Amino acid sequence: MRDSTDAYIEAGQVVAAHGTAGMLKVKALSGDPAGLLAARVLRLYGKGGKGIPEDREYEVRAAQRSGGCAVFSLIGVETVEAARDLAGARVFVARKDLPPPGEDEYYFADLVGSEVVAADGSPVGKVLNVVHGPAHDWLDIRGAGKEEALLPFVSEFIREVDMGGRRIVVTPPEGWPHAS
């Protein structure tokens, strides 16, 4: 996960090639690809092959919605084989190209580094990462003793997110490793 001060934030993952002209199908981490369509440049990480660098920026030639994904035509990805080689790559988008988060919405990159406290104010730990899951996402939290534990990022356990104060108030389940 990138630091929230970076100009680019993680926004999706290449799931497949699309069509026969080297287009890429990208699944948005938010579940809604609409915000990705304004991107002018995609930065792809972690999946190189056949001469394609692992970390590279691509200028967007065209973008459209297809079902629950965004489909991109990128300059430098001209064949279906080149597009297939990028399947699995993490997609980062310039923060300036993304819409601002709505009420009670967050870019997960902005949560990383936040202090986590219990409802009574006692320290719980710090957010190291946000792990994406099929049903919900998880906060990866490092406690004071340097142990890590995952906490579901759901309203049952997350009471307040104060982005300005970089603080998250939680009520973890009984028996959770960092519960007081």
pLDDT in tens, 135-170: 888 999 998 778 899 999 999 999 999 998 999 999
Chain centroid offset of residue 98 CA: 12
CB atoms within 10 A of CB 150: 16
Chain-centroid distance, C-alpha 146: 24
pLDDT over 60 (residue 131): yes
* Predicted TM-score of the model (pTM): 0.74
Smallest CA-to-CA distance from 62 within 24, 96, 35 is with: 24
- pLDDT at residue number 50: 52
Is 57 in a helix, a strand, or coil?
strand
Pairwise CA distance, residues 61 & 68, whole Å = 20
**Encoding tokens for residue 175?**
């028996």
Predicted pLDDT of residue 111: 93
For residue 47, name the pLDDT band (cuts at 50, 70, 90): low
pLDDT single digits (tens) 27-45: 998 888 988 998 999 999 8
The token pair that represents 178 in the structure block: 């960092």
With a pLDDT cut of 90, the percent of the chain lying above it is: 54
Q: Angle 21-23-24 (CA atoms, 0-180°, nearest 5)?
A: 155
Q: For the chain, list the domains and their CATH numbers.
A: 8-97 (2.40.30.60), 108-170 (2.30.30.240)
Counts for the chain of helices (H) and strands (E), in that order: 2, 12
Percent of the chain with pLDDT over 70: 91
Taking only the tens place, the pLDDT of each residue in 72-81 is 999 999 999 9
Query: What is the distance between the alpha carbons of residues 101 and 108, in angstroms, rounded to a whole number?
Result: 10
Q: Counting Cβ atoms within 10 Å, is residue 135 exposed (0-12), middle (13-18) or buried (19+)?
A: exposed
What is the mean predicted confidence (pLDDT) over 82-99?
Answer: 89
Q: What single-letter DSSP state applies at residue 31?
A: S
| Cα end-to-end span (Å), the chain | 28
Average pLDDT over the chain, rounded to an integer = 87
pLDDT of 1 higher than 50: no
